[in-house]
Homo-oligomer: A and B are copies of this chain.
């Protein structure tokens, strides 16, 4: 076990690496050439014009104003300055609430840390009988501060039990307050929103086939009858997946064409050749520019045909529709009620906002959906517990002997000492790392197979899967050695009371490991996040080869977005560690507090200046966040029970079980109290908004407003050709800036929905 010195050294190393990242960021962000990497949000909002459009040539690329370098940390106060209300308006409620999770971490753990250091650390420290007499200099001082220092059967364990109570009640209190706050924020956000199509619209799935009517007519008749006073209009869903793929392919070809054209312009002597075969590796060699020009022409024709086909053929209409009502009340009623006596058809739910719709999944029949969920649940189980088996195979294959056998021609190469040691030392680790990088994508694909209909729900489901994986493989996997399936096997053959003991007893020993983990993954990882190394490099590559117009440059920006499905489960690990170690090894807590504080600052900066969210779900992920923290709390109780019963203090078990029961009850209570706010739309609020709107704009033509809101993006009027022509006209940056500012004024006047349109236009193209 590491001593305090070891930890300090590790802390210093990680602090330095974090500082290096921060310095690099501080310098990089001041260079005008990187401006679009570090402030894309403002460009998208149309508020910031390129600093490169003015000043000398050098100034366009490098910042020579030395005074700005002195205050290299001044992004921190700047990030904290924007008030929350403005932040919600600027970045959306999702982002604003997301960073509140870090704040929540601080609210929970700062008082807990203070209490722990005031009570538990002295209790542990002064109980030095067990460890003092060992007189071993290498003995860890951290252990003297932890529960390990207390002899078995000591009365001092009561302090820990009492503290477990205090911490639990504090956590529940803060969680309750936060849940209440967030649900109010959500309702206020929904209430203050401008008119949006999704407020009036319901997504209807599993429209039953009718031999006499088209889907469109059938939907209209059904809702005209059953919601006679409220039905307004409907929009059937076209199966435009093939068309979307064609558009995608054309766009990619267009990028290559631009690339080769740029290359040609720079060096007109050299002919640009490519091979037409697999991945450009084989096949006959042709002229690149000609090839892509003809390809694009071909695709344009195909696309036009497909577009015609989608719009005319009845088979292209899937059994789903977006039905709009003449009031929010009508939509809220339809979304919350059952329409048909067969509860697998005419399924209604509140429509996601147009850019949040995941179009591919709208037409899955109920029974198929049910089977898909079953299969994915089984797959998730195997993925979580048995993922090491295929990885093991690949690792065996990626060993020296494996390579020698399968690829004998590489033999002379791998017999070199350097290559050999590389293969032996790094390859297995790299295989695992590649899997872990791919994991979120695999989980997202699994969620897509499960058939969710909005991007936000896909993100939430993936996060749930990832959370399971993190708990099983990172948390328990680090505490108990051996692969997950070996643990599973062991647990199946152990009694339920034995399991918490096995884990609880190793808990204090792993504290230093987790402290190091927090510093590496938490501190340095977050510092790397702010530097945005990958988008930085990608931007400059694109900027060099693809960007011809200001519009292209805008597309090359890649502001990225908060990746909820990955970052939230990871951050839950810190809650879990904090809750588990609060009683066991309080020295771990300050590290977690630093993580939360630092992350809060970094992400606040990022959502203000960088990220551009793909959708706005109104913080509908909060019930998940709340539940997962409670799961952490329950795990902490169970492990404490196990730990204490190995320490001859099992009389505390009933007391701690009471805490567990209370926590589970609290979860149910919160679910009943708040969750419906995140799922349903209360009629009272709907009526208020309807009334206000009817009074202020009595003559608004809602039907026209909703007409095309839920058309598949590739079918919308604005398409690639049109945009391209526009851009050709605006080739010089002066015009482009004008255009940006024009756009900006439009944004201000037309509000959110216009903004959205701009964003989806951009998405459509890139």
Contact = CB atoms under 8 A, between A and B. Distances in A.
A673 B366 contact: yes
Contact of A338 (B341, B498, B680): B680
Interface string A667-698: 01100111111001111110100000000000
Given A336-B336, A370-B668, A495-B493, A344 B687 contact: no
Interface string A491-524: 1111111100000000000000000000000000
A492 to B, nearest CB: 5
Main secondary structure of the interface of A (DSSP, over half): helix
A685 B346 CA distance: 13
Contacts of A672: 343-344, 366, 370
A5 interface: no
A665 B370 contact: yes
B680 A337 contact: yes
A374 interface: yes
Nearest to A180: B342
A400 interface: no
Interface of A: 183, 187, 222, 225-229, 329, 332-333, 336-341, 343-344, 346, 366-367, 370, 374, 378, 491-498, 661, 665, 668-669, 672-677, 680-685, 687
27 contacts: A187-B341, A225-B687, A226-B329, A226-B683, A227-B683, A229-B229, A333-B337, A336-B336, A337-B337, A338-B681, A338-B683, A340-B682, A340-B684, A341-B682, A341-B685, A343-B673, A343-B675, A343-B677, A343-B682, A366-B673, A370-B665, A370-B668, A370-B669, A491-B496, A492-B496, A492-B497, A494-B495
Contacts of A187: 341
Contacts of A675: 343
A136 to B, nearest CB: 36
A683 B332 contact: no
Nearest to A665: B374
A338 B673 CA distance: 12
Contacts of A339: 682-684
B226 A661 contact: no
A1 B684 CA distance: 68
A684 B341 contact: yes
Contact of A687 (B226, B374, B493): B226
Contacts of A674: 343
Nearest to A490: B495
A217 B61 CA distance: 71
A340 B187 CA distance: 11
Contacts of A338: 336, 676, 680-683
Closest 5 pairs between A and B when the two form their complex, measured CB to CB: A343-B676, A338-B680, A336-B337, A374-B665, A493-B495
A280 B187 CA distance: 63
A178 to B, nearest CB: 17
Given A336-B337, A344-B673, 13 more contacts: A183-B341, A226-B684, A227-B683, A332-B337, A333-B333, A338-B681, A338-B682, A341-B677, A343-B672, A343-B677, A343-B682, A367-B669, A374-B665
Contacts of A682: 338-341, 343
A651 B681 CA distance: 52
Given A337-B683, A683-B337, A492 B493 contact: no
**Which of A225, A343, A675 has the most C-beta atoms of chain B within 10 angstroms of its own C-beta?**
A343
A495 B344 CA distance: 41
Nearest to A190: B341
A528 to B, nearest CB: 41
Contacts of A668: 370
A666 to B, nearest CB: 10
Contacts of A494: 495
A41 B366 CA distance: 44
Contacts of A683: 226-227, 337-339
A496 B497 CA distance: 11
Contacts of A227: 683
A393 to B, nearest CB: 21
Contacts of A370: 665, 668-669, 672
Contacts of A673: 343-344, 366
Contacts of A229: 229
A183 B340 CA distance: 13
A496 B226 CA distance: 52
Contacts of A222: 684
A676 B343 CA distance: 7
Contacts of A343: 672-677, 682
